[in-house]
Amino acid sequence: MSVLMDLHLHTHETVDAPSSTVEAMCQRAVDKGVREIAFTNHLVLGNERFTIAQEAFRRHVEDIQAAEEHFPGLTIRLGLEVDYFADKQSELQATLAEYQRLTARPMDFIMGSIHHLWGEFYTTHQIRDTFYARHSPEELYPAYFELLADAISSGLFQVIAHPDCIKKGAKGISQPYPWDAYRAYAERAIDLLVSTGVAVEINTRGLQHACAEMYPSEPFLATYVASCRAAGRAPRVTLGSDAHNPASFGFALEEGAAFARRLGIDRLCTFERGHLLHVPLDDETPNERICRDTLATG
């Protein structure tokens, strides 16, 4: 494998990644030739099982510091994947400030995600099938993308994880529910991604889900890229496998990179202490960065 990065990894501090450790993920990165990784454990307000506790986060930071010494050729980023709730923006901001105080260095980036609709954790195995059985795509897609637009506008996030995650477990609505049926809702979110500078993730784990395609879909990403070009802006795209165990580390990263190239993306993004870095997708010199910007989201 010759892939620049995997910027979406989870470890055992939350219930969904019990066998994953910082050291094991770093070793897998070295073994697979991945040059840069990011740990993005979950923070879900009101759900302790899916939230890295503050004391666990402090230890997690120490584990990363130890790994940086043990794996000197590997760039390791520190982030969080944070569930967005429209009615909890102030609480989210305050909570993120508390976590930031637990580390002496700024976090590299915060990923926003939407795993809840109408108060239901719709991506979990326990309720997914019944949730999709109770709600039609005509209900789900507008509601999801309205919430996504709010998340993008919130100023809380530098990246949006798996931006069309609503298709995750939908056996009848994920695909072939057509792009044109929800395009207008998605395009509002895409316009906000472009205007705010919030990056969009290519998340390869969708290939393992019922939707059987990347997050986001090709029409979504193609529309985003075209909108960036029309606005005179470079697309801001990250790449991650969303691995929750070492065996899944790096899943389909090469396919994700090929997906980006096919749509005319020649640079990926990473983050260093809140600053955006553009990285040539096919760069052979991993430490060379061709652009460094302060993020629009602050």
Per residue of the chain (298 residues), give pLDDT as tens. 456 899 999 999 999 999 999 999 999 999 999 999 999 999 999 999 999 999 999 999 999 999 999 999 999 999 999 999 999 999 999 999 999 999 988 999 999 999 999 999 999 888 888 888 888 889 999 999 999 999 999 999 999 999 999 998 665 554 557 899 999 999 999 999 999 999 999 999 999 888 889 999 999 999 999 999 999 999 999 999 999 999 999 999 999 999 999 999 999 999 999 999 999 987 544 444 445 444 444 3
Using CA atoms, how far apart are residues 9 and 12, in angstroms rounded to an integer? 11
DSSP per-residue letters across 99-156? HHTTSSS--SEEEEE--EETTEETTSTTTHHHHHHHS-HHHHHHHHHHHHHHHHHTS-
What pLDDT, on a 0 to 100 scale, did the predictor assign at position 17?
95
- The tally of domains found in the chain comes to 1
Q: Answer whether 0.85 is exceeded by the pTM.
A: yes
Using CA atoms, how far apart are residues 62 and 7, in angstroms rounded to an integer? 19
- Report whether 203 contacts 161 (CB < 8 A): yes
What pLDDT, on a 0 to 100 scale, did the predictor assign at position 129?
82
Write out the residue range of the structural domain in which residue 51 sits: 5-294
Q: What is the CATH number of the domain that holds 39?
A: 3.20.20.140
- Report whether 9 contacts 38 (CB < 8 A): yes
- Report whether 255 contacts 223 (CB < 8 A): no
